[in-house]
Structure 1
């Protein structure tokens, strides 16, 4: 398989995700509807930041497909299939959550109401979608890392480091502020950037 092509496809995900996350206006505390509402007033950045982030998780599904094909090619069918299912499910949930959280408040404001109406109406639904999505996605990523470690794409020591980063990737989603999102963006660059470089040098 063309490792350089896979490396480029992998690298697009953290670039898209970081672009989306850093476009979203800074929110000190997402649990405060008043603070979040002020960020929504910057409607262009709020909307496009969330849409780009949603597209990033859509792209992550394509990344998972290519990694799974690579694992199949190297006779790691079971972990390839399992990781693909998890990553696809998590990616869909994250894309849906990001899209709803971006479009919903802006549409509410454009309709003449306050953004807090949307946040109060949606309650914990979007938060639950985010949390379930990032956990499922993270476990899919961990299985991809394990599978790539088995076939020698990732050196043993890097397997443990990247798994630790994937766990942090999931954990920072629990921070109810933009700092949590920023940490997710940084970790996505670290994890997927490493995977991209390792694919470039892999001979399997």
Structure 2
């Protein structure tokens, strides 16, 4: 597949090499490629290690992509992607963002309870097919599920389009996920986004970010 990976932060640094290793073509989207290369030292180093990576603007990265990954930080992603509503029409958008506002003490979820970031993205991109996933684990566990409990934990899918969820589910299994649980429509991303508070408190108690959630049947 040709995958447009939007965002150049920590999630990009984990997903880009893993997707390339699986044989996919990866183009990274950013607001300004020149600024990213000039000021984002970590991304410049990643690009130097992975010459196959392309770097384009958000709008340039999407056309021709079989899958779009939203790896833009949660508080910024809706505003960043809304202008691309027409460009993203028809595309599967795998949303791995978290709605945590770290600008306030102890951090808070926004939105929460009656809405979710996944739903906001779907409303902002009405003709895209948004699938929420991978937002319940640390970035470095996204492509290494076996590093937690020998892989015996659950990753979740939320989305209104079954075909889109099938595409994302196949990719997750290719990344090593064995327990992929489809929760239903995009509304169910409220539940997985609210798990972030539990994730943070468990990480603090255990002293490691390499933890996962397991649904026991």
TM-score, scaled to structure 2: 0.26
Name which structure has the greater RCO, CA cutoff 8 Å, separation 6+: 1
* Structure with the bigger percentage of strand: 2
Larger radius of gyration: 1
The structure that is helix-richer by fraction is 1
